[in-house]
């Protein structure tokens, strides 16, 4: 097994519930995402939230992003901030998630039709103080890395679906958030584009030690193949609302950070286990 340790808590959901009047959508959602550290590597986190259509994934997506307040419970994130005393020393601070804390990529991604790719990326980069006076360099670097350098001066209508998705991901990376929340990123992609997108997400996860991807999906095999942890959203018999019915640590099973999983018997057994929970 690849050596690793799990350190500080990065995100925590505590007793989260969501109800509309008498209708309970989510109940007792509890999970924790920790900083994964691998010797000699920058290793971010990739977590998948898997569930059937209509189970409440979109509502949980909105609650995690801070775009919707839960009826009960809390979503908190932990971030590094300079200490107020003793300068130069960073400390961890816990606080409730707020809109804008997470880079959010919706299933139906949207671009301003009257702006070129370069103009849209520049707007995103200017929101990140760490890129002050270096926005153009950062855009060029990401464009090359994610294979959109030739379309920087194109308009959204001139892009393929895969190119539009990559532009959306780069926009969120330029904004500088440690968290990237993706809603059904594999939906509607052909096999060639799907492979490019999964490779792209793996690159993003390795870009920074604290970079955390949370993938909300019903594509079990693709999501699990690039994740270190899978949370399964389902319903318990006799209980209203959806909750997390299982947590699967793919690292402990030796099924994380590998590119040969599709033919691995343990991976196939894990996929069957996930399907049994849905």
The DSSP output letter for 38 is B
Q: What is the pLDDT of residues 56-89, one digit of tens each?
A: 998 999 999 999 999 999 999 987 665 555 555 5
Amino acid 154: pLDDT? 94
In whole angstroms, what is the distance from residue 274 CA to residue 188 CA? 22
pLDDT at 243: 95
Q: How far apart are CA 273 and CA 116, in angstroms?
A: 45
Mean pLDDT of 205-223: 89
Q: 21-47, pLDDT tens digit by residue?
A: 999 999 999 999 999 999 888 899 999
**% of the chain at pLDDT higher than 70:** 93
> Using only C-alpha atoms, what is the Rg of the chain?
19
Helical axes 161-175 vs 191-205, angle rounded to 10° = 10
Alpha-carbon gap, residue 75 to 176, rounded angstroms: 20
Q: What is the 3-state secondary structure (H, E, C) of 142-155?
A: HHHHCCCHHHCCCC
Confidence band (pLDDT; 50, 70, 90) for 210?
confident
Note the pLDDT tens digit of each residue in 153-204.
Answer: 999 889 887 788 788 888 888 888 889 999 888 876 777 778 878 888 888 8
pLDDT band at 110 (very low <50, low <70, confident <90, very high): low
Strands 23-37 and 5-20 come out as: antiparallel
Query: Could you give the 3-state DSSP secondary structure of residue 242?
Result: strand
In the chain, where the domains are located: 5-101+179-196+218-277, 108-176
- Write down the mean pLDDT value for the chain: 88
From residue 170, alpha-carbon distances to 71, 166, 180, 202, 219 in Å are 33, 6, 11, 14, 23
Binned at pLDDT 50, 70 and 90, residue 254 comes out as very high
Comparing C-alpha atoms, which of 72, 75, 59 is closest to residue 10? 75
The whole-angstrom separation of Cα 144 and Cα 74 is 39
- The mean pLDDT of 120-135, rounded to a whole number, is 91
Residue 208 has pLDDT above 90, yes or no: no
Q: Is 18 helix (H, G, I), strand (E, B) or coil?
A: strand
- What number of other Cβ atoms are within 10 A of residue 269's Cβ? 12
In the numeric block, which tokens belong to residue 10?
A: 């990065």
Distance (Å, rounded) from C-alpha 227 to C-alpha 205?
10
Average pLDDT over residues 210-222: 91
**Does pLDDT of 109 surpass 80?**
no
Question: On the CB side of 49, how many CA atoms lie within 13 Å of its CA?
Answer: 29
Find, among 120, 205, 202, the residue nearest to 168 by Cα. Answer: 120
Average pLDDT over residues 229-240: 89
CA–CA gap between residue 271 and residue 75 (Å, rounded):
28
**What's the rounded mean pLDDT across residues 111-130?**
88
pLDDT of 263: 87
Homologous superfamily (CATH) for 5-101+179-196+218-277: P-loop containing nucleotide triphosphate hydrolases (3.40.50.300)
Report whether 153 contacts 107 (CB < 8 A). no
Q: What percent of the chain has pLDDT over 90?
A: 53
**Residue linked to tokens 């270190």:** 228
pLDDT of 128 above 60: yes
Contact 210, 35 (CB under 8 A): yes
Q: Is 76 helix (H, G, I), strand (E, B) or coil?
A: strand
Q: What is the pLDDT of residue 76?
A: 95
Question: Considering only 60-64, 216-220, 228-232, which range has the smallest mean pLDDT?
Answer: 216-220
- Across residues 214-221, what is the average pLDDT? 90
**Reported confidence tier of residue 49, pLDDT bands at 50, 70, 90:** very high
Choose among 225, 213, 184: nearest CA to 10: 213
């Amino acid at each position: 097994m690849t050596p690793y340790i799990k350190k500080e808590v990065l995100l925590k959901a505590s007793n989260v519930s969501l109800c509309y009047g008498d209708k309970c959508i989510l109940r007792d959602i509890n999970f924790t995402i920790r900083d994964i550290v691998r010797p000699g590597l920058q290793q971010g986190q990739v977590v998948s939230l898997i569930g059937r259509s209509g189970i409440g994934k979109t509502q949980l997506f909105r609650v995690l992003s801070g775009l919707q307040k839960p009826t009960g419970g809390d979503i908190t994130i932990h971030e590094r901030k300079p200490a107020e005393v003793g300068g130069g020393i960073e400390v961890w601070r816990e606080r409730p998630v707020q809109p804008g804390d997470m880079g959010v990529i919706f299933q139906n991604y949207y671009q301003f039709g009257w702006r070129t790719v370069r103009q849209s990326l520049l707007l995103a980069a200017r929101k990140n103080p760490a890129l002050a006076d270096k926005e153009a360099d950062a855009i060029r670097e990401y464009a090359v890395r994610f294979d959109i350098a030739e379309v920087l001066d194109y308009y959204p209508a001139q892009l393929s679906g895969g190119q539009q998705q990559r532009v959306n991901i780069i926009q969120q990376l330029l904004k500088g958030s440690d968290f990237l929340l993706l809603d059904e990123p594999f939906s509607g992609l052909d096999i060639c584009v799907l492979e490019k997108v999964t490779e792209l997400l793996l690159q993003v996860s390795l870009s920074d030690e604290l970079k955390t991807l949370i993938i909300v999906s019903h594509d079990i095999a693709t999501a699990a193949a690039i994740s270190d942890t899978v949370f399964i959203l389902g319903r318990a018999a006799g209980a209203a609302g959806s909750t997390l019915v299982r947590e699967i640590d793919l690292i402990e099973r030796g099924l994380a950070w590998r590119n040969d999983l599709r033919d691995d018997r343990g991976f196939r057994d894990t996929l069957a286990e996930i399907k049994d929970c849905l």
